[in-house]
Amino acid sequence: MTTGYQIVVCGGIVPDPLQTLDPVANPAGPTIKNEMMLPAVLDPWAAHALYEAAHLAKATPGSKVWLVSLGPKAKLQQVMMTVAQKVPFELVALDGQAGGFTDTYEVAALLAGAIQAIPGLDRSRLLVFGGWESASRGAGATLQMVGERLHVLDQFQGVDRLAIAADGSFQILERIEGGRHQVSTCAGPPAVLGWATGSLPEPPNNSQVGMANMRTVMPALHRAKPAKVGAEGVTFARVSLPSQRRDTRIVKDLPVGEIAREIVAWITGA
Amino acid sequence: METLLFLAHVESDGSLATQAREALGAAREMADALSGAPLHVGVVGRDVAAAAGSIAGCGAARFLGVAGADFSQPRYASDAAAAEALCKAAAATVVIAPATSRWCRVLPGVAQRVGGRVDTHVTGISADGGAPSVTRWYYRQRMEATLTRAHRPWIIVLDPGCGAPWKGEAGAATVEVVPVKLSETCRRTTVTGVQAPPADQQTIRPDAGLLFVAGAGWTKTQPDGKVHAAEAAELILEFLRKAQASLGGSKSLVDLTGEGQAVLPFMTHLNQIGQTGATPRHPKGLSACCHGEEPHVVGWRFISERRAINLDPNCGWARGKADVLYVADAFAVLRRVNALLGEK
Ligand SMILES: Cc1cc2nc3c(=O)[nH]c(=O)nc-3n(C[C@H](O)[C@H](O)[C@H](O)COP(=O)(O)OP(=O)(O)OC[C@H]3O[C@@H](n4cnc5c(N)ncnc54)[C@H](O)[C@@H]3O)c2cc1C
């Protein structure tokens, strides 16, 4: 009997957060201006999930990590060049639109289908990981829907820690209101965990890992099936950038005491 | 015609949170705007009578409840079963619920289960033109969209602070109990408690009037060539105590914790504001020793008045991101601010 985990990380790609984003209206719904030209990264919270998955797999012999990603093939390839250097995984790629304006319901259907199609996946040892919210839609909905489609009833969101007890049960910490964590125990896999930051730093690049990963990444990209994804039944009446520029008053050369008085008056409403 | 369901869970003391009343306010308004659309109330918890009674005057067509010890803990499997049963019992086409951590964990899954669709982190709900529409942000608060959906049921999860809480008469509400039998597979998880920092280190205060954001500058070499992390920690804690402010941090600062550098011991990833952190709601925000870069400032979307203290007159805050930028040494300013607050 295997004691390892079959960890499937769902992680999309998003425009690099340092880029300026402009929405544009298309007949099929809104998109981001020049989206294909913008440098992309692995969705940050999904990246944390991937690092946690790799860490857990390393600590648990017999485990394996897959990364399931839906995005335009060319963009996926660009992002994988970096991500593949980090930790060992096998890529499952779906070639389709990767934006915030597609609907979670449709994305979840595709991801769940891709997970179900992984050959030989032992669903009794399955852990579905991902970021608890994406940097595009930020809905925190996709993983739950994937879990439902796979009939996984133990689900956790905003996870910062997964600890495994000697009997194989889990202790899980999830973010809740007021800077606190909810603590749960769970009998074991299968489970869905939407990760927040976790506790691991970004792993340094490792060229050996990169070379091993690329042996499966390139064929996976080659095999990637075109996936139709949109937001059927959704009508966007308006997508706009906030008028966020403020008229900043820059206060220079004011004595510290004066600044302090001004701040205190402002804070206390005096 | 739409059938609305306001979906809530009770707090550990059996009451309804303010956030739930905000969602009820939005649901009531929508029912009124869609003249004649019936509003149902669905409540989940160990005991739901008191919560239902507290909103008895909301004009609900029915009060439905899923109650019992199985439903006291915020656990996915039992909450999903309860919410699913309530959506079905009400035959709801539009469900409005508060974005508590408990509901956020489960309602998208429930949407899947009832063949519906979901919108989370909704910041506004309207029924202008006779059809429900919602407003929410995309790309981590960078752009705002208003959208409608043809598909039903539609679950709408409303963020806190986005509407006035419902106010009205309490009384006795007759709750129709919706039976939900949990299978053993729904009991594989047990919520054992809540982990919180000790009271004197609890720096996150969602209800505070002021957010104070500390940046990595507090731990950087200062003009005297030294690092003053211990003094920074003292100044910040004293300020938080005196101003009763909530503490946020930049990514650079909270990341230092993991790298073993001179840091502020009370600062964790939970304090992080921005792209990969939180987007809290406070009327005012004061940033100190933080550069004000875009991935940080997107976390300030819901901070109304913004001021910053930075040595660099060309930092991000100077470029239209704050109302006031004080070009000054934050150590010196905070020392004086603390002294002045002490006199008050
Ligand atoms: C994928 C991604 C996601 C990100 N997510 C986030 C996020 O969620 N949140 C976030 O914050 N950042 C995020 N960032 C990082 C962001 O781009 C910045 O690097 C970060 O916000 C910088 O933090 P800082 O301003 O505290 O530090 P620094 O850039 O080091 O700035 C320190 C500031 O302190 C000032 N200073 C120093 N000493 C004093 C003094 N005595 N008095 C006054 N001022 C002083 C300096 O002038 C300087 O402006 C993200 C980046 C990426 C790529």
In angstroms, the separation between the Cα of residue B53 and the nearest Cα of chain A is 25
Which token pair is A248? 């900043």
pLDDT of residue A1: 42
Together in a domain, B78 and B151: yes
Per-residue pLDDT tens over the stretch B106-147: 999 999 999 999 999 999 999 988 899 999 999 999 999 999
Residue B192 lies in a domain: no
Task: Tell me the C-alpha distance between B264 and B237, whole Å.
Answer: 10
Q: What is the mean pLDDT of residues B69-75?
A: 97
User: Which residue lies with its CA nearest to atom 11 of ligand 1?
Assistant: B250
CA-based max dimension of chain A: 72
pLDDT tops 70 at residue B168: yes
Residue B244 lies in a domain: yes
**For A185, which of B189, B317, B322 is closest by C-beta distance?**
B189
A98 interfaces chain B, CB cutoff of 8 Å: no
* Number of separate domains in chain B: 2
Together in a domain, B266 and B312: yes
- From B123, B153, B187, give the residue that closes a domain: B187
Together in a domain, B291 and B207: yes
In angstroms, the separation between the Cα of residue A215 and the nearest Cα of chain B is 31
CATH code (residue B316):
3.40.50.1220
This model of the complex carries an ipTM of: 0.96
Phi, psi of B167 (to 5 degrees): -125, 135
Together in a domain, B45 and B103: yes
Task: Tell me the C-alpha distance between B86 and B177, whole Å.
Answer: 10
pLDDT of residue B260: 61
Together in a domain, B133 and B81: yes
pLDDT of residue B212: 98
Q: Is the CB of B321 under 6 A from ligand 1?
A: no
pLDDT of residue B262: 61
A153 interfaces chain B, CB cutoff of 8 Å: yes
Task: Tell me the C-alpha distance between A114 and A130, whole Å.
Answer: 15
Write the DSSP symbol of residue B320.
T
Together in a domain, B159 and B214: no
Together in a domain, B158 and B218: no
Contact: A144, B144; criterion CB under 8 Å:
no
What stretches in chain A show pLDDT beneath 70?
1-2, 244
pLDDT of residue A2: 53
CATH code (residue B69):
3.40.50.620
Mutate to test the pocket of ligand 1, among B226, B236, B272, B310 (most ligand atoms within 8 A of CB): B310
Residue B250 lies in a domain: yes
Looking up tokens 């951590």, which residue turns up? B101
Name the nearest CA neighbour of A163 among A241, A268, A87, A55.
Answer: A55
Looking up tokens 């992080």, which residue turns up? B272
Contact: A251, B336; criterion CB under 8 Å:
no
Q: Is the CB of B228 under 6 A from ligand 1?
A: no
Chain B positions in Cβ-Cβ contact with residue A18 (cut-off 8 Å): 293-295
Name the nearest CA neighbour of A86 among A238, A206, A262, A228.
Answer: A206
Whole-angstrom CA distances from A234 to A102, A133, B147 are 9, 20, 7
Residue B194 lies in a domain: no
Together in a domain, B181 and B208: no
Looking up tokens 């608060």, which residue turns up? B141
Residue B252 lies in a domain: yes
Q: Is the CB of B222 under 6 A from ligand 1?
A: yes
Together in a domain, B250 and B307: yes
Residue B193 lies in a domain: no
Residues 6+ apart with CB under 8 A from B134: B119, B122, B124, B125, B126, B146, B147, B148, B156
Together in a domain, B259 and B174: no
Residue B272 belongs to what domain range? 199-343
A184: left (phi over 0), alpha (psi -120 to 50) or beta: beta
CA of residue B343 relative to chain centroid, distance: 34
pLDDT of residue B177: 98
Could you give the angle at the alpha carbon of B267 between the alpha carbons of B328 and A130, nearest 5°? 120
Q: What's chain B's average pLDDT? A: 95
Which token pair is B288? 């100190």
Q: Is the CB of B31 under 6 A from ligand 1?
A: no
For chain A, the distance separating the N- and C-terminal CA atoms, rounded to the nearest angstrom, is 70
Contact: A139, B323; criterion CB under 8 Å:
no
- From B159, B187, B215, give the residue that closes a domain: B187
- From B156, B187, B218, give the residue that closes a domain: B187
**Contact criterion met (CB below 8 Å) for A131 and A45:** yes
Residue B274 lies in a domain: yes
Task: Tell me the C-alpha distance between B42 and B82, whole Å.
Answer: 9
Which token pair is A245? 């520029």
Residue B94 lies in a domain: yes
Domains, in order of start, for chain A = 6-227 (3.40.50.620)
Alpha-helix residue ranges (DSSP H) falling in chain B: 18-33, 49-54, 76-90, 101-113, 229-243, 251-258, 294-297, 330-343
Together in a domain, B154 and B75: yes
Together in a domain, B208 and B183: no
CA of residue A269 relative to chain centroid, distance: 41
Residues 224-263 of A with CB under 8 A from B: 232-242, 244-254, 256-257, 259-263
Q: What is the pLDDT confidence band of residue B258, given thresholds at 50, 70 and 90?
A: low
Per-residue pLDDT tens over the stretch B174-183: 999 999 999 9
Contact: A248, B193; criterion CB under 8 Å:
no
Q: What is the pLDDT confidence band of residue B202, given thresholds at 50, 70 and 90?
A: confident
pTM: 0.95
Looking up tokens 């606190």, which residue turns up? A180
Q: How many residues does chain B have?
A: 344
In angstroms, the separation between the Cα of residue B174 and the nearest Cα of chain A is 31
A31 interfaces chain B, CB cutoff of 8 Å: no
